[in-house]
Amino acid sequence: MRVIQNHWLLVILLMSGCAAIDSYQFEQRYGKAQPRERVVASLPPGNVDFWSQVKPIIDQRCVVCHGCYDAPCQLKMSSIEGITRGASKEKVYDQGRLKEMSLTRLFEDAHSVVEWRDKGFHPVLNEYADTAEANREASAMYQMLRLKQENPLPDVKQLPDSFDLSLNRKQVCTKVEEFDNYAYKNPLWGMPYALPGLDPAEQDVLTSWIDQGAVYTARPPLPTPFVEQINRWEKFLNASSLKQQLASRYIYEHLSYAHLYFPEVDEKHFFTLVRSLTPPGEPIEIVSTRRPYDAAGTTKFYYRINEYVATIVDKTHMPYALDDKRMQRWKSLFVDADYTVTQLPPYDDAQASNPFQTFAELPITSRYKFLLDEAQFTIMAFIKGPVCRGDVALDVIDDNFWVFFTDPDRPSERRLEKFLALNAQGLQLPASTGSDNYRSIHHWHQYAAQQKDFLTKKDQFLADNYGEPGAITLDGIWDGNGVNQNASLTVYRHFDNATVEKGLLGQPPKTAWLIDYTLLERIHYLLVAGYDVYGNLGHQLDTRLYMDFLRMEGEANFLIMLPPAARVKERDFWYRDANPDLKVYISNPLFDKHSIPGITYRSDDPKLELYAMLRQHLADVLPTKHDMASIQDTGVRDQLNRLNQLVGKPATVMPENALLQVKTNAGSMYFTLLRNSAYANMTAVFDDSKNRLPDEDTLTVLPGFIGAYPNAFFVVDAQRLPDFVDALSGLETESGYTGVVDTYGIRRSNSDFWSHSDAFHEGYRKLSPLTYGVLDYNRFENR
């Protein structure tokens, strides 16, 4: 045993010695490494320009894998600052983390290359002597590009298992001093990883830029029209009245993840709302806090509008317009409304995380209308906001459901304000008390007791205000005032991410939510304002457990509109095989006992009948963008509509999210194919596979682009579309799907992969210029 121990000790010493020798050799050749900034006043003659030549290539070839928090090695290449920051071996997404992680948000938690080196990030560009040789040999980015050029992908359809494409794969994150060992062990792991190499012209541009020192010129100043808009909005947000200060805090805590834009100027430049130590007119010094409602550490800060300089990626893009109409709306809700603010609330953890206490003096109706004005954004924020992998929140929701909202102008809304004032303390969220890694069962019971108490009181409130027969009608459902398309939403889950679209898309889903103000606000403060992607296991588990109750509450609200017997039937169907105790949280015993909705039902399927009535109720505000009926080519439409009827095995074999390009004589048409996985119930915390019901899986086909993470590309000529649809309809096995991909798919190994990638992105940009963002290929399959 001692001999074995000594052997491994020798191996470890030799390996560490090799690393030291490599570093020593670099210093011998190129001098001591020194972190440096790369911005220059002007480019030397003949140099490659980063903005016009390099950035477009990086956006199209690198950002597709290096654009979000889960970018391999935290190497975010969506901005030059992310490239110069470099990489880190520490994972942002680590669900087993016992202690919260130090924050590493780009542009917030460090502001120079030196500061990022102090936080453990290592360079991917040369930081030794500034010579052409050193710029090449001491750049991990250069070496990765050259490795792929010298070792292209094998000429096979499916890549071998040596390419680990799992989301939680081990990340090597090699430093340039260790690169020779990396290349020896993994000669096929050059960049782009598990994708074809770059076109020679693109390769030449990137390597020449690196060879020349990877310098860049500063961004130009903002054009005057943007500055004028920013000045106008910062003046509004920083007005001194108590009303405005409280309203601005509310606005900030809900829009801190928004991509703001000024449609009166253009819809291409985006900005973010931040807190700054400096007043308007001075350079912004961001107040960096873990959550938007955390204390700023100073008694004085200012709300500022900061230019968003990174490449727009679909996963985090949530555009939000600031125009004259918005200004007048906010003034009517928060400034001109008849109420008084007596004092500003504190920023202590317990109260700041509870919006019902913090903003108690803001009118409920004003808050709710603010959220509803952009309801898609409000719901989408918990999917796109602070996360890139949303499994903590998303494995608690069905793959497909519709969302409706209660009318903010219903007569009982004022009574709801009084109800909340009396019960605000009982609506505490997990972030108010911190997280304990070892007491999840205790926390579940704690949340269960709190939610049960709140629902009991809510049940009484409903009985008192809506308990009379006929009190519940469709008039209580917000109809967008006849103009706002946010009145109904469709949610599609794709494993650990999801998409929220306006309108009632696809086939009628199994479940639906009816959201009122209290539920909408709690979802936001649980999953957006209060969620910490850098948090520990306890925080993530607590969030997951609490979200269970919020989903059930939304479903219970919807069931209220059904006849009593249908409520029971649907509740039992939605929660097949679930613990009977859980059904308490989707029922309102007192209300259910006496309430008969004032909605006339004539069929033996009240839920489908209700869906049809809601569709009619919302007819004026249902968008057609993703409606198959909007497809003018009847041949294409009729063929693809066949796929909307698929149930069971053919749907199960399909990927979660696939993009389809149909080539016609008139040009290309683009569609998204979504697999909706069925579950007996959504209550499993750790292993939802035991609740899977693959025989009930369905497929949805929609025009346009849905989802940030495509799993597959298909390209089909219109005349071959019937054969393609037949092939998908007959799927039974994995090998059958492989045959479909052989014929119609674009695999990772396809030599023309990048031209197809460009075509899909260009199609997306043309169809949805405002919401367009670079797609992410970290979930692109190898099947």
Q: Is 269 helix (H, G, I), strand (E, B) or coil?
A: coil
Residue 610's SS3 state is helix
Write the CA distances from 324 to 229, 266, 319, 397, 602, integer angstroms: 10, 14, 16, 37, 47
pLDDT at 451: 74
Rounded CA-CA distance 436/434 in Å is 7
**Residue 672 dihedral angles phi and psi, to the nearest 5°:** -115, 135
| Band of pLDDT at residue 598, cut at 50, 70 and 90 | very high
Tokens of 407: 């009318």
Within 10 Å of residue 727's Cβ, how many Cβ atoms?
18
Counting Cβ atoms within 10 Å, is residue 359 exposed (0-12), middle (13-18) or buried (19+)? buried
Q: In this structure, are 437 and 312 located in the same domain?
A: no
Q: Which residue has the tokens 């900061």?
A: 306
DSSP H/E element including 662: strand 657-664
From 424, 254, 406, select the one nearest 334 (Cα to Cα): 254
Mean pLDDT estimate for the chain: 90
Mean pLDDT confidence for 34-52: 95
Q: Is residue 25 part of a domain?
A: no
- The residues, any chain, with a CB within 8 Å of residue 86's CB and separated by 6 or more, are 75, 116, 121, 122, 123, 124, 125
545 and 633 fall within a common domain: no
- Whether 374 maps to a domain, the answer reads no
Look at residue 390 and tell me whether its pLDDT is greater than 70. Answer: no
Is residue 513 packed enough to be buried (19+ CB in 10 Å), middle (13-18) or exposed (0-12)?
A: buried
Alpha helices in 583-666 (DSSP H): 589-594, 606-617, 634-641, 649-653
pLDDT of the residue at 1: 41
Task: Assess whether 86 and 204 both reside in one domain.
Answer: yes
* pLDDT confidence of residue 8: 43
- Residue-wise burial string across 104-138, b where 16 or more C-beta atoms lie within 10 A, e elsewhere: bbbbebbeebeebbeeebbbbbbbbbbbeebbebb
Task: Supply 40's token pair.
Answer: 């220059």
Q: How far is residue 56 CA from its own chain's centroid?
A: 23
Hey, what are 625's tokens? 């963008």
Residue 151 lies in a domain: yes
Determine contact, residues 523/550, Cβ cutoff 8 Å. Answer: yes
Average pLDDT over residues 402-420: 82
pLDDT band for 615, please (50, 70, 90 cuts): very high
User: Alpha-carbon distance 78 to 85, whole Å?
Assistant: 12
In a domain, 231, yes or no: yes
The pLDDT of residue 2: 40
Specify the pLDDT at position 341.
97
pLDDT single digits (tens) 654-713: 999 999 999 999 999 999 999 999 999 887 766 677 899 999 999 999 999 999 999 999
Secondary structure (3-state) at 55: helix
Q: For residues 477, 481, 486 and 489, what is the CA-based torsion angle, rounded to 10 degrees?
A: 30
Same domain, 575 and 632: no
The span from the CA of 504 to the CA of 493, in Å, is: 15
Residues making up the chain, counted from first to last = 783
Answer yes or no: do 213 and 274 share one domain.
no
Number of domains in the chain: 4
Q: Which domain holds residue 94?
A: 34-217
Count of other CB atoms within 10 angstroms of residue 473: 13
**CA atoms of 293 and 289, how far apart (whole Å):** 8
Q: What is the pLDDT of residue 442?
A: 62
Report yes or no on 725 lying in a domain: yes
Q: How far apart are CA 555 and CA 578, in angstroms?
A: 15
How far, CA to CA in Å, does 633 sit from each of 627, 715, 729, 762? 13, 17, 21, 21
Residue 390 shares a structural domain with residue 404 = yes
Residues 311 and 163 in one domain: no
Q: What is the pLDDT of residues 470-503, one digit of tens each?
A: 888 999 999 999 999 999 999 999 888 889 999 9
Cβ(546)–Cβ(430) below 8 Å: yes
Task: Indicate if the pLDDT at residue 397 is higher than 50.
Answer: yes
For the segment 263-272, what is each residue's pLDDT rounded down to a tens digit? 999 999 999 9
Q: What backbone torsions phi and psi does residue 701 show, to the nearest 5 degrees?
A: -115, 125
- Identify the bridge partners of residue 672 per DSSP, sorted by sequence position: 659, 702
Q: Kindly state whether residue 528 falls inside one of the protein's structural domains.
A: yes
Using alpha carbons, list the distances in angstroms from residue 251 to 275, 292, 383.
Answer: 12, 11, 19
Residue 687 has a pLDDT of 67
**What share of the chain has pLDDT > 70, as a percent?**
92
Q: What is the pLDDT of residue 388?
A: 65
Residue where one domain finishes, among candidates 560, 589, 623: 623
State whether the Cα torsion 582-587-588-590 is positive or negative. negative
Listing DSSP states for 182-213 in one string gives: HHHH-TT--SSTTSPPPPHHHHHHHHHHHHTT
Task: Find the range with the poorest average confidence among 111-115, 146-150, 162-166, 749-753.
Answer: 162-166
Residue of 509, 756, 728, 767 whose CA lies nearest to 626: 767
Q: What is the 3-state secondary structure (H, E, C) of 509-525?
A: CCEEEEECHHHHHHHHH
The answer to whether 782 touches 713, Cβ cutoff 8 Å, is no
Q: Residue with structure tokens 């002597």?
A: 129
Of 194, 217, 240, which one is at a domain's C-terminal end?
217
Is 354 within 8 Å of 420 (Cβ atoms)? Answer: no
- The pair of structure tokens assigned to 459 is 């049940």
Q: Measured at the alpha carbon of residue 380, what is the angle toward residues 422 and 228, in degrees to the nearest 5?
A: 95
Q: Please report whether residue 159 resides in a domain.
A: yes
Q: Which two tokens stand for residue 639?
A: 């063929």
Entry pTM: 0.93
Q: Do 111 and 259 belong together in one domain?
A: no
In 189-329 the beta strands, taken as DSSP E runs, fall at 216-217, 259-261, 271-276, 302-307, 319-321
Structure tokens at 743: 């014929």
179 and 261 both lie in a single domain: no
Q: Are 97 and 206 contained in the same domain? A: yes
pLDDT of residue 11: 41
Q: How far is residue 391's CA from residue 93's CA, in Å, rounded to a whole number?
A: 11
Encoded tokens for 484:
């706002």
Q: pLDDT tens across 277-291, in order?
A: 999 999 999 999 999
Bridge partners, residue 273, by sequence:
305
CATH at residue 756: 3.30.1050
Residue 130 tokens read as 């500034």
Residues 407 and 274 in one domain: no
Q: Is residue 40 part of a domain?
A: yes
Is residue 277 classed exposed, middle or buried when 0-12, 13-18 and 19+ CB atoms within 10 A define those classes?
middle
Q: Say how far apart CA 340 and CA 499 lie, in whole Å.
A: 39
Question: So what's the pLDDT on residue 533?
Answer: 80
In tens, the pLDDT along 566-595 reads: 999 999 999 998 887 776 777 777 777 777
The answer to whether the beta carbons of residues 145 and 203 sit under 8 Å apart is: yes
Report pLDDT for 460.
Answer: 84
Q: Are 431 and 459 in contact (CB under 8 A)?
A: no
Asked if pLDDT for residue 169 goes beyond 60, the answer is yes
The pLDDT of residue 545 is 77
Distance of alpha carbon 222 from alpha carbon 307, whole angstroms: 9
Phi, then psi, of 741 in degrees rounded to 5: -65, -40
Together in a domain, 208 and 234: no
Model pLDDT for residues 451-473, shown as the tens digit of each residue: 778 778 877 887 887 777 788 89
**pLDDT single digits (tens) 88-108:** 999 887 767 778 889 999 999
Tokens at residue 176, please?
């340039």
